Chain A
Amino acid sequence: AQSVTQPDIHITVSEGASLELRCNYSYGATPYLFWYVQSPGQGLQLLLKYFSGDTLVQGIKGFEAEFKRSQSSFNLRKPSVHWSDAAEYFCAVGAPGDMRFGAGTRLTVKP
């Protein structure tokens, strides 16, 4: 079965600074990869997904993620963080018949 790891439980960045959230997965083939964001009191919202093709994918709210097969990673990036980006971020990995969510990374944005 595949697994997904988000090594950082909590990250704090200053507003305007760049952001990278890490996601590593374990699976024998290329899985389907997703990033979701959860704002307080709300459900998860899809930011972006990767199935195949260009390894750099663009999502909503100015986020992008890069799939690196050699590192089994799918890190989420944003060049300039806004205060409204403070939330919890989940990486998810899908393989036939299975879907796994990471434990999440909580992002705090300092003014």
Chain B
Amino acid sequence: DAGVIQSPRHEVTEMGQEVTLRCKPISGHNSLFWYRQTMMRGLELLIYFNNNVPIDDSGMPEDRFSAKMPNASFSTLKIQPSEPRDSAVYFCASSRQGYSNQPQHFGDGTRLSIL
């Protein structure tokens, strides 16, 4: 079974550039999550979708960050314009319907470096 697929695995770009991270959840999973992981702040939930609808985006740091889920098999996280402090590993995860009572399946992450 294919797991959660994220692309790219690594991204290096200069500050001010637009960055788009992509995620394909596990087929049949209704919930999708975007996380950011840094040494300083650990694992932070950025946004959570259920049935393609954003449910909780309170973790999105600021207006430079946006996320979409146009269909059940694809989601994007966009940063525009990017800043050095956005450097982190970004994870996408998916689960069956539900949030707190379902295990999440994580992708291998996108390591983002903003120069």
Contacts and interface: CB of A to CB of B under 8 A. Distances in A.
A95 B106 contact: no
Contact residues on A (Cβ < 8 Å of other chain), bracket: 20 to 34
Contact of A101 (B43, B100, B108): B43
B101 A51 contact: yes
Given A90-B43, A99-B45, A43 B107 contact: yes
A109 B105 CA distance: 26
A44 B91 CA distance: 9
Contacts of A101: 42-43
Contacts of B107: 43
B52 interface: no
Contact residues on B (Cβ < 8 Å of other chain), bracket: 10 to 19
B76 interface: no
A94 B108 contact: no
A46 B105 CA distance: 7
A99 B99 CA distance: 7
B2 to A, nearest CB: 14
A32 B101 CA distance: 6
17 contacts: A32-B100, A32-B101, A34-B103, A36-B106, A42-B108, A43-B4, A43-B107, A43-B108, A44-B43, A44-B91, A46-B104, A51-B101, A90-B43, A94-B99, A95-B100, A99-B99, A103-B42
Interface of A: 31-32, 34, 36, 41-46, 49, 51, 90, 94-99, 101, 103-104
The list of the 5 closest CB pairs from A to B, nearest first, reads A43-B106, A94-B100, A46-B103, A44-B106, A32-B101
